[in-house]
Structure 1
Amino acid sequence: MPSRRTFLAGTAGITTALTIGNPAHAGATNDKSDKSDKSDKQLRALISRMTLPEKVGQLFVTRVYGHSATAPDQADIDANLKELGVRTAAELVARYRVGGIIYFTWAHNTRDPHQIADLSNGIQKASLERQRGLPVLISTDQEHGIVCRVGEPATLFPGAMAVGAGGSRADARTLGRIAGQELRAIGVRQNYSPVADVNVNPANPVIGVRSFGSEPDAVAGLVAAEVAGYQRSQVAATAKHFPGHGDTSVDSHYGFPVITHTRAQWDALDAPPFRAAIRAGIDSIMTAHIQFPALDDSGDPATLSRPILTGILREELGYDGVVVTDSLGMEGVRTKYGDDRVPVLALKAGVDQLLNPPSLAVAWNAVLKAVQEGELTEERLDASILRILRLKAGLRLFESPYVSQAGVTRTVGTAAHLAAADRIAERTTTLLVNEGRLLPLSRRRHPRLLVVGADPASPSGTTGPPTGVLATALTELGFTATALSTGTTPSATTIAQAVAAARGVDAVVAGTYNVTATSAQKTLVEQLVATGKPVVAVAIRNPYDVAHLPSVRACLAAYSWTDVELRAAARVIAGRVEPRGKLPVPVQRADEPTRVLYPVGYGLSY
């Protein structure tokens, strides 16, 4: 790892001045203290020495393929050449002077914590040597639950809706603090979490269990708590997706959602979590690729809307931290304008960081051209760069850009952290149905179990298919549990196999995933019930499944199919812990969706 002396030489003597600035994060306050003023003066001086291409680069946060900054696998070199025109992360930094890099599992950035730390150090070394001593702000999407980029042996926590079911702000703060410590140890200093969207639409295909719930005040409290936890660990939290993505039936990755809330509804429903995040000192806020006519009737997505980002977020809410776009490769932001116009319009709207454009070359050159031709001014770029550098200084990246392998070993996936995640998970599992007190299952009456169900694509928080994880957990608790994967759309043959297997056991545990009225999963569960064997349904994603499963004698909501939540559900099924979770969203009747079957706050206990 490069020495501290090497780093100090690259910063042109500004390190000391920057690190004595406001110890709070850049977006935390509008502190006008002498120290803050001195830091800003030094940062402005640094900006004044940047060339225009260097300034443009600081605005971009991009993907890059490979586990190493300088020696990725050949397949990753090929992918980088095809998509970015460079071979490695080090070359990327040298060519485009990017201010940030985002890690993805699919880009092979996150094999294991020690490798991630080496990658982070390699990126920082390349940046410090090529960018006037400027460190890179490395980010990722580590929401926990169904969206994780860093898997085991890192500590994986329940997702947002599960935390909402637990209802504990202390747990949310603990999650943020521990997750932040582990991210910081591997060199990730900006996390695109928490989700601040209020999920009021059960059909929402993109938010759902990524939200804390449907009650604005409850979501606001948990968002603020998680922000405090992350930023206490010197990792920038990011509230997303402004101005609110919770009432959509279209996924902005693939379409262009429209929010029909009135301005009054936005104030009451969507805004409270973002207001709470700003009060908590949130470092960054991510935009949504949604159309919100009540806030801007131009038809532009919020990411490109000056009335929304400058008029509401900056001026009305008083936020002066970093604004980052959602991925510019998503269809929601590409529907109306070309890829060359999107980054320019985002900057004109008030954005600071341009995240993951589909073509970095097209986007980078478009911004450069816009300044050269007078559509954007250098002063406009300087304002965003100052916010970005304030954030880097607040995170002490100028002083401590590197991480150590000893720090990874000391911090990531410790026994204490893993135990905290298990305790939090135990407070989230929600018991919705328990006819005849079927649960907890008894090892005397139900020694042999069949675990069937959906095995959706696994997030990083899993070690295997959900049926296998659940069966293993139940076996470790004293049952003899056999796993049979039936998938999300079981065929008639698969259903028949499950029914035949059920006849040889004492009870069946069925993991369900987004069941609908016409779902083959519903048919599977109904035929299992018809065998006369007790059936316990475990909703491993949305809790709304229970409305379509009236025949089961017991039903739990686990809110995710990650290991930590499935293990907690197993302990509830076995009676090792009491079910304590309460629904953070209402569940409507399947036959009459305007009526509520189970209200917010509902949850049984033993």
Structure 2
Amino acid sequence: MPFDLSHLALAPFSLDREQIEWVRHTFEKLDDAARVGQVFNLLSRGDETGEREMFRAFRPGGITRYFNSDAVSERARLEELQADAEVPLLVSADLEGSRMSLPFGTQVPNPIALSAIDDVNVTAEVAGIMAREALAVGLNWSFTPLLDINAKTRSSIVPTRGFGSDPERILRHSLAQIAAFQAAGIAATAKHWPGEGHDDRDQHLVTTINPLSVDEWEATHGRLYREAIGAGVLSIMTGHIAFPAFAAAMGASGTDLYRPGTLSSIINIDLLRGRLGFNGLIVSDASEMAGLSSFMDVTAAKAEILRAGCDMILFATNPERHFASVLEAVRSGHVPSKRFFEAVTRVLGLKARLGLHRPREQREIPPRASDRMKDVLLKAPILEKDTQSLFPLSPEKTRRVLVIAPGIVEPLWSSRLPLILPDLLAKEGFEVKLHPMGEAYETKDYDLVIYAFSEEALLTRGRIFLDWASLGKGLRGAMMRPWHDVPTLMISFGYPYYLYDAPRVPTYVNAWATMDEMQEAVVELMMGRAPWNRNSPVDVFAEVPDGRY
């Protein structure tokens, strides 16, 4: 072995002699092809034909699992894959809450809802619940928390996945989540390095840009990452985000100023390893997102990700081609041997840090903490404005209700799901009519109009906005505003900035998450059974000062 492993004795790995010897022995027994396997994390979608055989053939270092709702079958599936693996697998997921909650587990708040509650003990409790449920089926690595700053209100990707726009609040909750995950035995991941939220575009579709000066970055994103590193976060995910100010300070010019972080040694080695001193594992964001593929061919990019300082490559849609490309780059020296050694041993080091090389006892699948979450979720929705003193609602005051709700957007599956809000209101004694989208509507026969929008920031949403034309019919339908004649309420179960398109709506609620349980919480609050939260984690009036009135 040409290089030493002393860095694995340092934080955040802090491996003892036995763990370091396991890393050494494992590295030495693997051939080049098996070592290449260790730096890949492949997607596992379910029980697809041939998936298990593919993992046996390519021997990846980890998998990212899309779970189903049956915890027992999920655990059995992961036990099979671990039994097949020559080296234990890292098993990862995005534990972000709401519709990114574990399907078989407790449906918990997303980060923006936790930030609205603004109780770090609740954030830690929720992380602990997710960790216990994840560990019980075999998951050991979460791609959270997000340290992104929701500075650009028109962003479609950050608003509900991060902890808001205030760096101090982001810091409190991200550190609480890191501590809770890692105390339970789940490796946490700070993302998206070097910092997202100042560009209103989505890395899945385009390379985004962090436009801050180096000093501005140091005071915001730099501080967040330094604190996370100081707290011992085990991994950092580098994004398809350019940081031109720092690249320029390091002598880059032209296109290289806008090189995605995943492909930039300046961003990962000079800044993250050098200036910030991070010694843990750097994992790329999904390596075939257009934020990378628009800059470089995805096959050629796999080796460049390693050369740029990442230790693990997330996803490969053509494993045979992509593994062969990296193997050739390693054997030719295009990926320097020292860089490759560091990448493989950091992957093995994370496995040793999590104790994956030791016999594991099967954990009991814990019961869902659903009753506790009902109490938690009541604290999350924000009454941003109410100029008509609408609440509490009652069937005696506003019996006839028209609900205009386009449905819950599921961008991963290109589908829409119905809200349960109309049924919940009907159970309270209201006469509820759900308006068919795209049809003409009149409001004179109703006592209350509710607009309910349900779009969380969940990938590939190039733009999120209030599309008035889709709600009614024709030009007149797009221009109708009912609130001068009928009490009107707008609720967002997700994206918080619809006031940009409807600043004069008299009552506006941000409820952050599309999950059924959050809809239930909103109805409880509307009926006056609990007090509204007014401590918003974002400024919904940032671009609409008239929206306050």
Provide the C-alpha distance between the structure 2 equivalents of 1:481 and 1:225, rounded to a whole number of angstroms: 44
> Counterparts of 1:26 and 1:114 in 2: how far apart (Å)?
36
What's 2:224 paired with? 273
Candidates 111, 132, 135, aligned match of 2:88: 135
- What is the 5 A alignment of 1:366-385? 366-385=325-344
Which of 444, 467, 476 aligns to 2:396? It is 444
Q: Is the 8 A contact 2:422 2:434 kept in 1?
A: no
Following TM superposition, by how much is the alpha carbon of 1:589 offset from its aligned partner in structure 2, in angstroms? 6.0
State whether residues 151 and 197 of structure 2, in contact with CA within 8 Å, keep that contact through their aligned partners in structure 1: yes
Cα 1:318/1:560, change in 2 over 3 Å? same
SS at match of 2:299: coil
How many percent identity over aligned positions?
A: 24
Distance 1:294-1:465 versus aligned 2 partners, 3 A rule? same
1:532 to 466, 485, 489: 485
Say whether the 8 Å CA contact 1:283–1:322 is kept in structure 2.
Answer: yes
CA distance in 1, matches of 2:244, 2:537: 28
2:457 aligned residue: none
Residue 187 of structure 1 is aligned with which of 110, 113, 138? 138
- Residue 480 of structure 1: which of 389, 413, 430 is its match? 430
**8 Å contact from structure 1 (residues 529, 552) kept in 2:** no
Q: 1:124 to 1:589 in 2, by over 3 A?
A: closer
From 277, 281, 301, the equivalent of 1:322 is: 281
Describe the SS at the equivalent of 2:285.
Answer: coil
Please state if 1:565 is matched with 2:545.
no
Q: Specify the alignment match of 1:507 in structure 2.
A: 448
353, 369, 372: which one pairs with 2:312? 353
Deviation at 1:52, TM superposition (A): 0.9
Q: Report the more deviating stretch, 447-456 or 315-324.
A: 447-456
Q: For 1:117-149, what per-residue CA distance to the aligned partner results, in whole angstroms no more than 9, with x for missing partners?
A: 12111111111xxx1xx211111123113544x
In structure 2, the CA distance between the partners of 1:371 and 1:458, relative to structure 1 (3 Å rule), is: closer
Q: CA deviation at 1:93?
A: 2.5
Partner of 2:46: 66
Shift of 1:271: 2.2
Structure 1: distance between partners of 2:145 and 2:539 = 21
3-state SS in 1 of match to 2:122: helix
Find 2:295's aligned residue among 327, 336, 341: 336
1:549 paired with 2:502, answer: yes
Q: TM-score, normalised by structure 1?
A: 0.80
**Separation in structure 1 between the aligned mates of residue 27 and residue 35 of structure 2, nearest angstrom:** 8
* Alignment correspondent of 1:300: 259
CA–CA distance in 2 between the matches of 1:308 and 1:554?
Answer: 44
**Secondary structure at the counterpart of residue 561 of structure 1:** coil
In the alignment, the residues of structure 2 paired with residue 253 and residue 456 of structure 1 have an alpha-carbon distance, to the nearest angstrom, of 20
Q: Match of 1:80?
A: none
Tell me the residue number matched to 1:88: 51
The 5 Å alignment of 1:383-462 reads: 383-401=342-360, 403=362, 407-408=364-365, 411-413=366-368, 417-458=369-410
Following superposition, the deviation at residue 159 of structure 1 comes to 1.3
Counterpart amino acid of residue 318 in structure 1: G
Once the two structures are TM-superposed, the CA of residue 457 in structure 1 deviates from its matched residue by 2.5
Output the CA distance in 2 between the equivalents of 1:333 and 1:450: 45
1:178 is aligned to 2:129: yes
Aligned pair partner of 1:582 in 514, 517, 535: 535
Q: Is the 8 A contact 2:408 2:416 kept in 1?
A: no
- Alignment partners' CA distance in 1, 2:69 and 2:450: 32
Is 1:198 aligned with 2:149?
A: yes
Give, as a single letter, the amino acid of the residue that structure 2 aligns with 1:577.
Answer: A
Q: CA RMSD in A?
A: 2.8
Aligned to 2:18: 38
TM-score by length of 2: 0.87
Distance (Å, rounded) in 1 between the aligned partners of 2:390 and 2:181: 40
Q: Give 1:420 shift.
A: 2.7
Aligned-pair CA distance for 1:575: 1.0
The CA deviation at 1:381 is: 2.4
Contact 2:124/2:176, CA 8 A, preserved across alignment: yes
The answer (yes or no) to whether the contact 1:242–1:285 under 8 Å persists in 2 is: yes
**Equivalent residue for 2:111, pick from 160, 170, 176:** 160
Q: Are 1:98 and 2:39 an aligned pair?
A: no
| Residues 445/326 of structure 1: CA separation in 2 closer, same or farther (3 Å cut) | same
Aligned counterpart for 2:78 among listed residues 104, 114, 120: 120
1:542 and 1:521 map into 2 onto residues whose CA distance is: 17
Contact 1:339 1:358 in 2 (8 A): no
Deviations 1:32-83 (A, max 9, x none): xxx713321231122111111111101100113433xxxxxxxx32xxxxxx
Alpha-carbon distance, 1:370 to partner: 1.1
Q: Distance in 2 between matches of 1:450 and 1:567?
A: 18
- Structure 1 distance, partners of 2:506, 2:9, is 52
Distance of aligned partners of 1:113 and 1:28 in 2 relative to their CA distance in 1, 3 Å threshold: farther
Alpha-carbon distance in structure 2 between the residues aligned to 1:586 and 1:526: 26
- Comparing 444-453 with 556-565, greater Cα deviation is found at 444-453
What is the rounded CA distance, in whole Å, between the counterparts of 1:450 and 1:88 in structure 2?
48
Q: What is the CA distance between 1:158 and its match in structure 2?
A: 1.6
Mapped to 2, the partners of 1:164 and 1:519 lie a distance apart of 33
Measured at CA, do residues 29 and 328 of structure 1 come closer, stay the same or move farther in structure 2, by a change above 3 Å?
closer
Does structure 2 retain, via aligned residues, the 8 Å contact 1:258–1:290? Answer: yes
How many positions carry a matched residue from both structures?
521
Deviates more, 1:545-554 or 1:322-331: 545-554
1:411-463: per-residue Cα shift (whole Å, max 9, x none)? 142xxx21232222211110012224211212432344333212132489xx9
Q: Deviations over 1:76-119 (max 9, x none)?
A: 32xxxxxxxxx122x12221110111113xxxx42422221121
Alignment partner of 2:12 out of 26, 29, 54: 29
C-alpha separation between the residues in 2 aligned to 1:237 and 1:596? Answer: 41
**1:52 alignment partner in structure 2:** 32
Alignment partner of 1:231 is 2:182: yes
The residue type paired with residue 236 of structure 2 is I
Matches of 2:381 and 2:531, distance apart in 1: 9
Q: Which amino acid aligns with 1:482?
A: V
Q: Any conservation in 2 of the 1:539–1:546 contact (CA below 8 Å)? A: no
